[in-house]
Amino acid sequence: MSGSTFTVRLIGGAATLLLAAACGTSTITAGAGKAPTKAPTPSGVLGVATTSVGPVLVDHSGLTVYLLTADTPGHSSCSAQCLQYWPLVPAPAGTGATSVPGINAALAVAKATSGVSMLTAGGWPLYTFVKDKAPGDVTGQGVKTFGGTWYAVSPSGAAVTAPPTSAPTTSSGGAGVYGY
């Protein structure tokens, strides 16, 4: 992370499990003041992290969550080829619209082009990026491909359009960093 500070707030994994056991349904949750652990977390859990582009949504592994400007609220345009590079953030089974502490955006569920349920924030379908390898990485920020531009998602559900404070290194040869 080249000297940048990274903070993660995952929202209540244990509380989610207790609530799901008590109610018999899944919920989308996130937590405050806890670092990610190696223990498995339910798929679809969102949190908030501070990265080099500011506070952003992160998935259950702490990886940055992105939106694609070619999408429209509630509708993903990311094809099977796109999803190879930009995996969708899956919705937990039985989840509808909900709210999560620390996340101001309305969370809901939409269908990907494959028919799989995925999470949305502020209506925008959510994805991760395969080149983000560790919590705090924002290598997908500002990438222009698959008909639009990819931006990290703020806790309000809006695109974070600021460039990272330390830009990724580029390779020589004209293909660029991402080469697809």
pLDDT digits (tens, 9 = 90+) for 159-178: 999 888 764 444 333 333 33
Length of the chain: 180
Strand 148-153 with 159-160, pairing: antiparallel
Q: Indicate whether this model's pTM tops 0.85.
A: no
Q: What does the pLDDT read at residue 91? A: 86
Residue 4 corresponds to which tokens in the numbers above? Answer: 């940048």
* Cβ-based neighbours of 90, under 8 Å, separated by 6 or more: 43, 44, 116, 117, 118, 119
pLDDT digits (tens, 9 = 90+) for 74-128: 999 999 999 999 999 998 766 555 567 789 999 999 999 888 999 999 999 999 9
Residue with tokens 């080099």: 52
Residue-range domain boundaries for the chain: 7-160
Q: CA separation (Å) from 113 to 77, 119, 138, 144, 167?
A: 7, 13, 25, 20, 31
DSSP string, 91-113: PPTT--SEEETTEEEEEEEEE-T
Instruction: Give all strands (DSSP E) within 15-85, no chain letters.
Output: 47-51, 54-58, 66-68
